[in-house]
Structure 1
Amino acid sequence: MEYVEIARAESERGELVLRERRDENAPTVLELRANGVFVMDTLETSTEQALASAALALVDRPRAVVVGGLGLGFTMHEVLADHRVEKCAVVEIEPRLVDWMRDGTVPHGPALLADERVTVVVADIAVALAEAPPSSYDLVLLDVDNGPGYLVHRTNAALYREPFLRAARSVLRPGGALAVWSADQAPELRDTLAEVFGDAEAQSHDVVLQDREEAFWLYVARVPSDA
């Protein structure tokens, strides 16, 4: 196995690295790491796909969707595969990651971002939602970490607390939903969501990673249709 660095960037949040895993007996895999921690790659995308498909199933008419976290674009790709989606705003805090997707450093990036329904917002998701008009979206998907127990950056802890979750609720239309992906059970998150929305649920989703069956969790809260 050979690792080849493709791109590197530094920001106030630390180091972002894009590298390839090369094996003469297997296809090349693109891998994203933040501060030395594995974030995602192009080999195992089932969790991103499961997040999007399960979240889209929560809403009858997900016309306008916010995806918190661009990553390598697979959550966004699954959202765009739903013909009901008319607008998809992707909020990404790392501008260089957006550049890599746009300029082809991530080979599949330009084609994904060329979809006319996509708007990329380079910002902190907390700031972006605070500035969004009330009741402007049908679905908010939060995919910046693998849940509150697996933070990419320590400051992301605020995204699982009441002030941010109230901001997320405010941008949702009646019948809209917030979905948060987690690699493990997060009962405190469920309790906080229930406090903000009036109710919340934890859904277990089975995915296969490197031939292993794993259980991931989707934390869901909805705005009543008559709100």
Structure 2
Amino acid sequence: MESTQYVEIARAESERGELVLRERRGDGAPSVLELRANGVFVMDTLETSTERALASAALELVDDPAAVVVAGLGLGYTMHEVLADSRVQKCAVVEIEQALVDWMRGGTIPHGPALLADERVSVVVADVAVALAEARPASYDLLLLDVDNGPGYLVHTENADLYRAPFLAGAREALRPGGVLVVWSANPAPELEDALREVFDEAEARPYDVLLQDRDEQYWLYVARVPPSA
């Protein structure tokens, strides 16, 4: 029987709790990095389909995504997909955990230094609500909210505010005319859709099919757009 071993690579404490990066090893299988927050699985380097799908689907919604915000660094796969689009001239990544940024920059996460070396990338260590409040109005073409797997799967309970009208109004302020906000969710989130419709003139829920390790799964994209003439 194949055995799985877990080796802790890095650990950090913040006011939000404990963040752990560990390596998952199995007999004869490549090692996998796994990120956990307060003991809860967040993501790993084995299955990155959803992170990439969020970025690629969102980029298709904007004619000229020159300036993009990725809210949530994670292990960098959403940002990686954004940077693969040659239309992107600027990618601001907002991440609240300084330790995670340090692990990416310092090579604790091996692919991190190369990603963050891209001259189009700037990293802001802050709560995304604060970062958007401090941004110049109408600065961005696309905003990807990737801090949780939707309002039903919060990494931290405080993140619930990110799916409500006050935060969404701040996101709208940061977007240029024609700009788009995209939120990824593992399940239907009707309250999020209602909040988006309250703040934006145009909002919709789009089912999105993803193949996860040979399993067909359906996720949801919540899309809101600022009118071109705003």
Q: Which runs of 5+ in 2 are unaligned?
A: none
Q: Specify the alignment match of 2:188 in structure 1.
A: 185
**In structure 2, what residue type is equivalent to 1:160?**
Y
Q: Which of 88, 95, 99 matches 1:96?
A: 99
CA drift at 1:209: 1.8
Q: Specify the alignment match of 1:171 in structure 2.
A: 174
State the alpha-carbon separation in 2 of the partners of residues 198 and 187 from structure 1. Answer: 17
Q: Is the 8 A contact 2:201 2:227 kept in 1?
A: no
CA drift at 1:104: 0.3
For normalisation by structure 1, the TM-score amounts to 0.99
CA drift at 1:53: 0.5
CA drift at 1:17: 0.3
Q: Specify the alignment match of 1:143 in structure 2.
A: 146
Q: Is the 8 A contact 2:164 2:195 kept in 1?
A: yes
Q: Specify the alignment match of 2:133 in structure 1.
A: 130
CA drift at 1:48: 0.3
Residue deviations 1:1-50 (CA, integer Å, cap 9, x gap): 11110000000000000001101221110000000110000000000000
State the alpha-carbon separation in 1 of the partners of residues 23 and 141 from structure 2. Answer: 36
Q: Secondary structure at the match of 1:219?
A: strand
State the alpha-carbon separation in 1 of the partners of residues 122 and 165 from structure 2. Answer: 27
State the alpha-carbon separation in 1 of the partners of residues 174 and 80 from structure 2. Answer: 22
* Structure 1 moving runs of 4+ over 4 Å: none
Q: Secondary structure at the match of 1:135?
A: coil
Q: Specify the alignment match of 1:59 in structure 2.
A: 62
Alignment length (residue pairs): 227
State the alpha-carbon separation in 1 of the partners of residues 91 and 65 from structure 2. Answer: 10
Q: Specify the alignment match of 2:210 in structure 1.
A: 207
State the alpha-carbon separation in 2 of the partners of residues 102 and 195 from structure 1. Answer: 39
CA drift at 1:169: 0.2
**In structure 1, what residue type is equivalent to 2:156?**
H
Aligned-residue Cα RMSD (Å) equals 0.6
Q: Is the 8 A contact 2:95 2:125 kept in 1?
A: yes
Q: Which runs of 5+ in 1 are unaligned?
A: none
Residues 1:38 and 2:41 are matched in the alignment: yes
Q: Which of 99, 110, 114 matches 1:111?
A: 114
Q: Is the 8 A contact 2:202 2:226 kept in 1?
A: no
For normalisation by structure 2, the TM-score amounts to 0.98
State the alpha-carbon separation in 2 of the partners of residues 34 and 206 from structure 1. Answer: 27
State the alpha-carbon separation in 2 of the partners of residues 94 and 116 from structure 1. Answer: 22
**In structure 1, what residue type is equivalent to 2:154?**
L
State the alpha-carbon separation in 2 of the partners of residues 214 and 142 from structure 1. Answer: 20
